[in-house]
Every structure is written in structure tokens, then in C-alpha cells.
Structure 1
Amino acid sequence: MPEILIVESSSPGIASARRELGRAAPQNFSRVFAAAIPDIKIRVVEPYLKELTCADFDGVDGVVMTGAGDDWAADDDLATPIRAACDLALETGRPVLGVCYGLQIATVCLGGKIAASPKGKETGLALKVELTEQGARHPMMQGRRQGFSVACAHRDEVIRMPDGGQRLAYNAHSDVQAMSVQQSGVDFWGLQYHPEISPSIVANAIREHGSLFSNTGIDIEDLLKVETDLETAQRLGCSLADFELPNRTRELINWIEYVASKTTVAA
């Protein structure tokens, strides 16, 4: 069975508060992966608490760089521990998945550029995400339809991909909603949106506890209903099928199956 290392990208205070609520990023990913591969091994590390070394990657088959709730950007000095962890992960040549902040961290580490979107924050839903020609052929996006919608919460975005980057998906808000990078042994898949959570989780996080992303352009009540109410979904430009678990988590299932296939070959 594959062993996955999940790198918690939030600072300790935020990570701890979310963990108590069962909403920490590693918990969200672990639930999806364990449902797909019940015997999967998962370890979680927190670079803000302990600097990672090469030994942390021993026996690891794939690495996840999670999203984060802090207000500093991926290229800020405060993010140095996370970038250092990502550098080590990428250098191993193992499959690395970056989601939201994880995508942005990897972009910076690989020589690309991120910045705050001129269109403001994209919070609640990434609407009408389209696949590029490369995306329609890429294994991460297999099973995704054109024009899907998915949970999201971000201020920054990729404005220049690293060398070797392929743009896989985009929408009206962000030109890079998904990308892959193959360069110098790097095997990276990245998403700007959050397939590991539902829109209602974003809504509850905003409503109950406040958030860096609290000025959502989508009504919170709509986020709570869009997964099950056809009228709400249609009004927002979504499909109820977008939020059915196998569809919502499609990229994560594709990635973990990719990691498992490489593990089988190596064995």
C-alpha cells in the first residue's frame, strides 16, 4: 500500500483550531484517500513546528502540500518553512500534489510567480472551470467535464507558470486553476481549487468562525444549499453532479491511484 506524507501548510494556531473541529487540511485529504484505498498509510508533518529533513521522506510514495489559512503569500519570508519542505519534496522525484496554497508554494519553488488576483478573492465556488486541450488529456483531470464548479477560497493565483508547466484548467477568475510540471525529475500536479472539501464546509467556516476569505461574492446560504438544491445550483451556474463525492474529489482519486500505480510498478 502507498504511504503518503501530508505537509500541513497552515501555521500552528490555525492548524490546531481546525483540527479540533475536524476540518484541518490533512484530515480532509486523509478521509478522501482512505475511502479510495482503505489500507493507505498517511503521515502528517508541520514544517512551522519542526524543520523537515530528507529523512522525513523515507518510505514515502507521494506528498501532498495542503492549502493554508494564513494571510501571508507563498513568496513571503514567513512562508520559508513551507517552501523549504516543498523544495525537499520536489527534489525526491516522488509525485507531489499541491492544492491552493500548495500550488502557489510549488510555483514559487519551481521558479514561477504568484500574486493577488486583480479580480479579488475567489471564495466559495470556482465556477465554470474549463479544461485546456492538455487538461483534457492529462490523467489528473480524467473524468472531469467541461464547465464544472468546485469549492475554493483564495486571494493569490499563479500569474506565471514555472518552466515545464502545463496549464490544465482555467475559469473567468483565474487563468491557472490546474497545472502540472514535469522538469528535471519533478512530478507535480497542482490545483487552485479545493476538491477535498464541499462548498458547505467553506460556508460554515466563514459563518461560524470568520475567515481571511469572509468577503465571499456568493451568499453563504447559497453555499449551504448548492450541493442539494437544484434551483440554487442552476442559478449559480452549477450542476448538482458537480458535488457528488466521486465527481467532487475526482482529481484526488486520480492522483492517489497514480501514486499507487507507481508503487506497484516499483514493487
Structure 2
Amino acid sequence: MTSKPMKILIAESETPAARDKRRASVGRSSGETFQAVLRHIAPGAELQRITPADDEGDTLAAGALEAADAVFLTGSPMHLYEETAEGRRVVEFMRAVYAAGTPAFGSCAGLQVAAVAAGGSVRAMEPRREAGFARRLYATDAGTSHPLLAGRPPVFDAPAIHTDEVARLPEASILLSANGTTAVQAAEIRCGKGVFWGVQYHPEISLFEVAAALRRQSDDLVEHGLAPDAEAVARHAALVEALHEAPGRKDLAWRLGLDEEVTVPERRTREIRNFVERLVLPTRSQRGRA
């Protein structure tokens, strides 16, 4: 019997303006970045990008969430502690994902959306920043044996760009990873019939996209004392981009303090692959879709 292709929904939590700004910077929206990664991790899967933050009414056909094998929530510059129509729409979408029982994964704002939708909360990081990379991430006791982090070393770095963080996880959650800057770096959240695995960092983005994000946030980095001026941000971003173009350059990796957990795509995207292989495929088999 020929198995049916996997159906994956990629939910862009960015507003149209934010998507346009990101495309102008790196040539892709956040959803298109996930799309490119998933073409390698899940070749043959049917990938559909949707935009739940947009004011478009119901863009999904009835039963589309139940019919999907997985949902991915992208990052976004929106602040969920602010009352906005876009934020409400994305949170309501995630509640529908939980109700459908479809396995979900999210990075950065995706984790924050999943937490709020299940009863948790998000806050601004105030003067703290993770800009470029989250350093010295470590698994909690629960995280050391959790399949989301399978294959990660005890301590690792990952691409990360965020000014908000999860303040409180929902009740039915497992904290999987943390570091000295942000207490919730990875978590499993259960709500209703749904299971969500998510990370505050960005396993999906390339070093090219990290460099572009640094340039986009140059003023903020200077304001918060991470760089003395815009020229310093530009020089740092240029090093990151050069390592993207030549990932084997040990001199650049040494200057940036990075190893193969970041520079090698198969290792950088490990959580996404783990989610597909260790949650989506088993759930799909249980539903009789394989």
C-alpha cells in the first residue's frame, strides 16, 4: 500500500508588514524559511503556508486542522502581552490546533503563542537580550530524556533573536531547556487533545538569516549596550554571514565562539527533525494515515 503524503501546515504569526520586511532582508518570510527546511527533513510532504494573524476571515477549510499531520508556528515580532487583533487571532488559532489534537511545533514567538493559548503568560525581557545566538543552553532533568532534544549535547548554542520570553508555562507543561538568560528555552505543552513541542531559539534559521536579523535590530542592540555603535553591529553581522558562506572556516567559528551544533544544518535543525520523526510520524501511524 502506498502511504499518503504527510500534510503539514506552516502558520506564519507575522503580520503582512513584518513578512514584507523580512523578505526584503533575507528573501523569505518566516514561513518560507520553515518551508525550505521541511523540504529536506520531510521530502514529499504537502506543505501549506497559512497566515492566522491576518484579517482574512476563516482561511482554512472545515476539518483542515484535523486533516493535517502537523502544524508549525513561526517566529514573529508581535508582543503577546499587548492587546492586538493579530495577537488574539494567532492565539485563537493555536487553541483550535490544541482542540484538533494535531501535533504542533513552534520556535520563538511560536512557543510564546502556544504557552498563552494554553493558559501561560509572556513578558518583555526588559534590558536583557539574546541577539544572534542563545548561549550555553542546557537540558533540564526532564529534557535530558525527552525526544525533542535527542542528540543534543549537554550544553549547546543555537540561533536566537528575541526580546520577549515565556514568563509562566501552563500547568500541563514540561520545561526541557533553559540558560542563564531565559528560563524557558524549550518545553512540551499539553492542552486538551493537543501536544506542542517548542523552543525559544530558532533551529530553522541559517547564519545568513542571523546576520540579517542583527542588521535589522542594530538600533536596539546599540540602545541596550550590546554594541557601541551601528558599525560594530555591521562588523559582527559580516562575520556571521562569512561563516554562513564558508561554514568550514575554523577561524571564523573560533572568533564567534560557535561549533557544529550551529554551523552544520543537520545539527542546527535537530529539534525540527526530532519533532517530525518522534512525534508526528508515530501519531500519524496511530491515526492510520501512514
Normalised TM-score (structure 1): 0.89
The alignment partner of 2:238 has SS state of helix
Structure 1 distance, partners of 2:124, 2:8, is 30
2:102 is aligned to 94
- Say if 1:201 and 1:252 are closer, same or farther in 2 by CA, change over 3 A: same
Greater displacement, 135-144 / 116-125:
116-125
Greater displacement, 220-229 / 41-50:
220-229
Query: How far off its partner does 1:43 sit?
Result: 1.0
From 37, 40, 44, give the equivalent of 2:45. Answer: 40
Indicate conservation of the 8 Å contact 1:100/1:191, yes or no.
Answer: yes
Indicate conservation of the 8 Å contact 2:161/2:213, yes or no.
Answer: no
**1:251-266 equivalences in 2 (<5 Å):** 251-257=271-277, 258-266=279-287
Give deviations 1:231-258, integer Å, cap 9, x for gaps.
4433444313432011000000111222
**1:9-158 equivalences in 2 (<5 Å):** 9-19=13-23, 21-47=26-52, 48-52=54-58, 54-69=62-77, 72-78=78-84, 79-158=87-166
Amino acid of the residue matched to residue 16 of structure 2?
A: P
Give deviations 1:53-85, integer Å, cap 9, x for gaps.
65442421111111013xx41232211111111
Query: How far off its partner does 1:118 sit?
Result: 4.2
Give deviations 1:192-249, integer Å, cap 9, x for gaps.
0000012331212443xx2488517373234224553424433444313432011000
Give deviations 1:161-191, integer Å, cap 9, x for gaps.
1101111111111111100012432201111
Indicate conservation of the 8 Å contact 1:150/1:243, yes or no.
Answer: no
The alignment partner of 1:23 has SS state of coil
Indicate conservation of the 8 Å contact 2:98/2:192, yes or no.
Answer: no
Unaligned runs of 5+ in 2: 227-232
Structure 1 distance, partners of 2:56, 2:208, is 32
Structure 2 distance, partners of 1:158, 1:10, is 18
The alignment partner of 1:43 has SS state of strand
Unaligned runs of 5+ in 1: none
User: Cα RMSD over matched residues?
Assistant: 2.2
The alignment partner of 1:77 has SS state of coil
Structure 1 distance, partners of 2:263, 2:219, is 21
Query: How far off its partner does 1:17 sit?
Result: 4.2
Structure 2 distance, partners of 1:23, 1:121, is 24
Greater displacement, 88-97 / 237-246:
237-246
1:5 is aligned to 9
The structure with the larger Rg is 2
Greater displacement, 9-18 / 149-158:
9-18
Greater displacement, 34-43 / 52-61:
52-61
Structure 2 distance, partners of 1:188, 1:147, is 23
